[in-house]
C-alpha cells in the first residue's frame, strides 16, 4: 500500500510539473504571437514594444519596493528614518508612500 501511495504521489507531482511547463510554453507562444500581431497589424516597431515592457517592469518593481517599505514600517515597526535611510529617501517621502495604501489604517 505504501508503494502505491508513493508511486501515485510522484506521478501527481510529475503531472503538475508537466502542466506547469505546458502553461509556460503556451504563455511564451502567446506573447510571441501578440508581438508579431502588433508589429504587422499596427506597424509598431519592436523597440517600442521593448520600451513598453521595460516601463511595465519598472512599475512592477516600484510597487514591490513600496510594498516592502510598508511591510518594514508597519509589520516590523521600523521608523520613518530607518526606512528612509535604507532606500535613500526622506522621512516625509517614506510617510507619503507608506500612508497611501491604507489611509487612516496605515497610521495606526
Take residue 17 and report the three cell numbers written for it: 510539473
Residue 105 phi/psi, 5° resolution? Answer: -65, -30
pTM greater than 0.75 (yes/no): no
3-class SS string, 85-103? HHHCCCHHHHHHHHHHCCC
> pLDDT digit of tens for each residue in the chain (108 aa)?
566 666 677 777 777 877 888 888 888 888 777 777 766 666 667 777 778 878 888 888 888 888 899 888 888 888 999 999 998 999 999 999 888 555 444 444
Amino acid at each position: 500500500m505504501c508503494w502505491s501511495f508513493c508511486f501515485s504521489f510522484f506521478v501527481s507531482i510529475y503531472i503538475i510539473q508537466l502542466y506547469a511547463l505546458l502553461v509556460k510554453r503556451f504563455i511564451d507562444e502567446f506573447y510571441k504571437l501578440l508581438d508579431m500581431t502588433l508589429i504587422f497589424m499596427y506597424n509598431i516597431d519592436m523597440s517600442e514594444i521593448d520600451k513598453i515592457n521595460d516601463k511595465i517592469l519598472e512599475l512592477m518593481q516600484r510597487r514591490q519596493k513600496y510594498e516592502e517599505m510598508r511591510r518594514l514600517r508597519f509589520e516590523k515597526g521600523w521608523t520613518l528614518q530607518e526606512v528612509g535611510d535604507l532606500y535613500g529617501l526622506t522621512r516625509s517621502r517614506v510617510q507619503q508612500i507608506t500612508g497611501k495604501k491604507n489611509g487612516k489604517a496605515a497610521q495606526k
